[in-house]
Structure 1
Amino acid sequence: MTDPFAFLDLSLPMAQRVAALDWAVTPLGAIEDWPPALKVSVAMTLNSGFAQCLCWGPDHIAIYNDAFVPILGNKGDCLGLPFSVIWHEAWPSIGPIAAKAMAGESTFIKDFPLSVLRDDRGMEKAFFTFSYSPVADEAGVIRGFIDTVVETTDRVRFERRAAISNRELVHRMKNSYALVSAVVRQSARRAATVEDLTEKLLHRLEDMGQAQNILSLHGSSRATVTEVLAHVHRRLDDKGCRFLASGPEVSLTDKQTFALTLAMFELATNAVKYGALSTNEGRVVVDWSDQRDAGTRRLRLSWTERGGPPVTPPSHHGFGSLLVKQVLAAEFDGTVEVSYEPAGLHFELIAPLNGA
């Protein structure tokens, strides 16, 4: 008696499942009655190293290999089911492609987007690179097609995120260039000597580098006000014990992080040189709150210096003042007030947080 399973490599798990299935209850009929073209096609599919699914007959009855199983996700055992039933949610998109294959036309599509249902989370957007290749019998009649597929969802998502990141990087570089240009121009106007100009430029460029470091550590996540002030605290070294910062976790956009870091560094530098931290008794208190009212959020952040030398308003406003007042207010779409009180400088930022 001829072995009806001779065409199957039963060392393959999926070949064992093919042999165990009662094909008599499917449109393909009993396995011992399968035509030679079907058996050869099944053997080729099961032995392929690529994810493949053979769809046979007008109902596109599916016979797939082990590599194809991950493509199905949690759809369960789909062996012997019509391809249109297995992928019913995507059939409006792939049905016409299957029809072309049954008409003898091969199709290759790269990174084809499909909304598929593969687990309990519901529909998901996935991407596939696949080919539908017609399969003919010994008389040249098209009897089915082979779907050779590679899921490319992770790669497509990565490339799209990378493209967005690249655009953001270019935009950030342009902003940084504009800011550097402003630093150079403003510093040059106020510098008395070349040495003074060099010191100011190096100092502010270092601040910009620190701000970029905070952003680069986060990738897709956002920095917080707490982290920005922690960097300021570390920068103050031994004076950090007189720098007190407290407030809730408040996330910032990239632009807000960059602007707030530069502004806080500027205030800290001035406090060390001329303000509260220039004496042994002075201190700086920074506090902030996330105020919520009627569905809106608002950040209120204050910087208060006490115990330093008497404060007088500056005779001129340089880049530091521009940075603290105008740039910061613009990036937060809020208001900034700086008061030169005799007891110590007071700074306050009030800005909406919706979407931050």
Structure 2
Amino acid sequence: MQLAQPRDPATLRAYEALLQATPDLLYVFDLQHRFVYANDALLTMWGMRWEEAAGKTCLEVGYEPWHAAMHDEEIERVIATRAPIRGDVPFPHHAKGVRIYDYIFTPVIGADGEVEAIAGSTRDVTDRRLHEEHLELLVNELNHRVKNTLSTVQSLVRQTLGTAQDLDDGGARIESRLFALSRAHDVLTRENWHSADIHDIVEGAIAPYETEVGQRFELSGPPCRVNPQRALALAMALHELATNAVKYGALSRDDGEVHITWDCTHAGEGAAMQFTWRECGGPAVEAPKRRGFGSRLLERGLRNDLGGDVELAYAPEGVVFRATAPLESAPSETFAEAELETEAR
């Protein structure tokens, strides 16, 4: 079978060089579905020499029966319709394992106007497919993240304005809470939104209240990573705790301190986090008569978003906040979603 008509040997050698140099898999079937040509890229994928493959069908070369039958049907369809067909299929590569290939079968029309062979071209599109799937996953994650963030902001604004003294007070509180949310987002962005270390979350949350490292806050805990939802919840809780400490607690006095500790355990049913905020050196503490948004966020919100247990104690010597949460899975409902459902009811 001739692929072209040029008689010049140099032109024929150029054609052959092109066919062998391309990374695409190039081949030709005769009308009996036998391979009459295969370039080096295809032979490498098979792990065969041309002498072993010449004149064999797909099944004889080693294709799975379903795969060979599919190509047999496609070859007959090309012969009958005289039109190309295109598809994609997984195939075990001799050296790279299972790969995804995009292929096209094209009729070769002879001098008599009839189909005399079927030429094929196949390209490895595995990396492109994986990239497309990764992009789709990122878009879905982004959509979910934006939805959760908007729900959080919506709940934050409604609840803050509902307990604010006036619009100026409400605006200031909303702004500070949004800044806290933004700092937590910065930490997660640096980590590509996979997870964040508790130490980084705490440092970002207390930075506005610490004039000198270690002056007002004492931090202690091992490396311990939490997922994005728990990281944001913890950051917002720390903001509320620090704000209350500045107004009424340890940070309202020059000699007041806050001790923040955490630990991670990996025994029993899975990994878990224990987190504690403990104030000392401030004025005597009394439990508030009215629960505001900040208190609800600490007690109910963190319980929802962490998927664990929380405790807010107004001890006379200083506020103590404790939280425990599993680390292997995320809770299904965020505090913002729970708050909006409560408001709707």
What is the TM-score with the length of structure 1 in the denominator?
0.75
- Deviation (angstroms), 1:131: 0.8
> Structure 1 residue 64 and structure 2 residue 39: aligned?
yes
After superposition, give the CA deviation of every residue in 1:280-303 in whole Å (9 maximum; x if it has no partner): 222222222222223422211111
Query: For residue 235 of structure 2, what is the aligned residue in structure 1?
Result: 261
Query: For residue 92 of structure 2, what is the aligned residue in structure 1?
Result: 116
- Secondary structure at 2:271's aligned position in 1? strand
Query: For residue 32 of structure 1, what is the aligned residue in structure 2?
Result: none
Paired residue type of 2:159: Q
Equivalent residues of 2:89, 2:102 under 8 A apart: no
> Structure 1 residue 173 and structure 2 residue 141: aligned?
no
> Structure 1 residue 248 and structure 2 residue 248: aligned?
no
Paired residue type of 2:86: I
Distance in 2 of aligned mates of 1:302 and 1:52: 61
Matches within 5 A, 1:1-356: 6=9, 10=13, 15=17, 46=19, 51-57=24-30, 58-64=33-39, 68=41, 76=47, 78-80=49-51, 81=53, 84=58, 88=62, 92-93=66-67, 95-101=69-75, 104=79, 106-109=83-86, 112-119=88-95, 123-124=97-98, 126-138=99-111, 142=115, 144-219=117-192, 221-238=194-211, 240-241=213-214, 242-355=216-329
Paired residue type of 2:222: P
Distance in 2 of aligned mates of 1:101 and 1:226: 62
Distance in 1 of aligned mates of 2:317 and 2:287: 12
Distance in 1 of aligned mates of 2:258 and 2:178: 24
- Deviation (angstroms), 1:220: 5.6
Judged with a 3 Å threshold, the aligned counterparts in structure 2 of structure 1 residues 355 and 197 are, in CA distance, closer, same or farther, namely: closer
After superposition, give the CA deviation of every residue in 1:227-246 in whole Å (9 maximum; x if it has no partner): 21231243334154132223
Distance in 2 of aligned mates of 1:130 and 1:355: 41
Judged with a 3 Å threshold, the aligned counterparts in structure 2 of structure 1 residues 275 and 192 are, in CA distance, closer, same or farther, namely: same
What percentage of aligned pairs have identical amino acids? 24
Judged with a 3 Å threshold, the aligned counterparts in structure 2 of structure 1 residues 192 and 294 are, in CA distance, closer, same or farther, namely: closer
- Secondary structure at 1:192's aligned position in 2? coil
What is the TM-score with the length of structure 2 in the denominator?
0.77
- Deviation (angstroms), 1:129: 2.9
Equivalent residues of 2:184, 2:205 under 8 A apart: no
- Secondary structure at 2:302's aligned position in 1? helix
Equivalent residues of 2:47, 2:94 under 8 A apart: no
Paired residue type of 1:109: R
- Deviation (angstroms), 1:77: 5.6
Query: How much is the aligned-residue C-alpha RMSD, in angstroms?
Result: 3.3
- Deviation (angstroms), 1:173: 2.1
Query: For residue 21 of structure 1, what is the aligned residue in structure 2?
Result: none
After superposition, give the CA deviation of every residue in 1:190-226 in whole Å (9 maximum; x if it has no partner): 2222221111111111122222223333336322222
Judged with a 3 Å threshold, the aligned counterparts in structure 2 of structure 1 residues 76 and 273 are, in CA distance, closer, same or farther, namely: farther
Judged with a 3 Å threshold, the aligned counterparts in structure 2 of structure 1 residues 270 and 5 are, in CA distance, closer, same or farther, namely: farther
- Unpaired runs of 5+ residues, structure 1, are 16-44
Distance in 2 of aligned mates of 1:299 and 1:127: 42
- Deviation (angstroms), 1:278: 2.5
In terms of mean alpha carbon deviation, does 342-351 or 166-175 score higher? 166-175
Paired residue type of 1:174: K
Distance in 2 of aligned mates of 1:253 and 1:202: 25
- Deviation (angstroms), 1:330: 1.0
Paired residue type of 2:189: S
Judged with a 3 Å threshold, the aligned counterparts in structure 2 of structure 1 residues 285 and 10 are, in CA distance, closer, same or farther, namely: farther
- Deviation (angstroms), 1:142: 4.8
Equivalent residues of 1:90, 1:115 under 8 A apart: no
Equivalent residues of 2:195, 2:225 under 8 A apart: yes
- Unpaired runs of 5+ residues, structure 2, are 1-6, 331-345
